[in-house]
Amino acid sequence: MSKSPETNPPKKLKPLQQPQQSSSQTKLTKHSFLEILALPVFVGVILYASQYLVVYPLYFFLGREPLTTTLGTAVLNALVYVLSLSLVLLLPRKFFPKWRTSREELGLKGLPTWADLGLAPVGFLVYFLLAMLLVAVFSLFPFFDPSEAQETGFSILATGFDKILGFLALVVLPAVFEEVIFRGWLYGKLRAKIPGKFSLLLSVLITSVLFGLLHGQWNVGVNVFAMSLVLCALREITGTIYAGILLHMLKNALAFALLYIFNFMI
């Protein structure tokens, strides 16, 4: 965090600025449309492929049993996230030069501020209310089961060490890596490449729909879609993803506490 307000006055928020576009970039061409479509496809393929590239070699060399323990599951989660982010950042350097990304473009410029710390709980409240509304709407459809349990990969976390591993794997790692990939890399690229007055709306929707779909089940997908809408707004407002990481971590921490501390099924 930055220094205390007494020694370091809070800076003004710097919203995400869409890069200046030439007149030839203000209209959607066939080439630009295909490139925009390729961005979420690229992220989706990387995230799915990373799971197989990590899980199957480890199953082959170690067997399935060691990887079903709390430690094994935590290591698997960490390796999948590290590989996913590495491929998202490194493959463009070799094969897609136009997709290379700086730290600032990822929304990681500077350090978290007091404003980020204050916006995270406010954003969480907005997300919670929006998620309740969307869940209520989707509950009208027969295919939607709001009570369907989410598979986390972890069973009961009996010991303190197990809880620490579970907390890192389910709270910290997703909040950091998913924000860098989705609200950092993907959202930043979409905002830069989608031309015209609908750039903001389309960037938010594409990022959020993909984020929801990749969670694999309707009730979780609708919930995280609502969260992504707020996370994109925070990226837009602050110009960074720090507030989003804090909100994401807060949401995961509350779910973790309900499931593994208070043993409340959600």
Q: Does 20 fall in a domain?
A: no
Q: What is the pLDDT of residue 25?
A: 53
135 assigned to some structural domain: yes
Q: Are 212 and 224 in contact, with CB atoms under 8 Å apart?
A: yes
Residues 140, 145, 146, 152: what is their CA dihedral angle, to the nearest 10 degrees? -160
Residue 6 falls inside a structural domain: no
Q: How far is residue 236 from each of residues 132, 163, 192, 193, measured CA to CA in Å?
A: 23, 34, 12, 15
Residues 204/216, Cβ–Cβ less than 8 Å: no
Average pLDDT over residues 53-76: 90
Each residue of 183-215: pLDDT tens digit?
A: 999 999 999 999 888 999 999 999 999 999 999
The number of folded domains in the chain is 1
Q: Does residue 13 sit within a domain? A: no
Question: Would you say 185 and 40 are in contact if contact means Cβ atoms under 8 Å apart?
Answer: no
Residue 59 belongs to domain spanning: 30-147+155-261
Q: Rounded mean pLDDT of 147-167?
A: 86
Which of 12-26, 43-57, 106-120 is predicted with the least confidence, judged by mean pLDDT? 12-26
120 falls within a domain: yes
Q: pLDDT at residue 173 above 90? A: yes
Q: pLDDT tens digits for 90-143?
A: 999 888 888 888 899 999 999 999 999 999 999 999 999 999 999 999 999 998
Q: pTM for this one?
A: 0.88
Asked whether the beta carbons of 123 and 231 are under 8 A apart, the reply is yes
Residue 64 within a domain: yes
The answer to whether 189 and 107 are in contact (CB under 8 A) is no
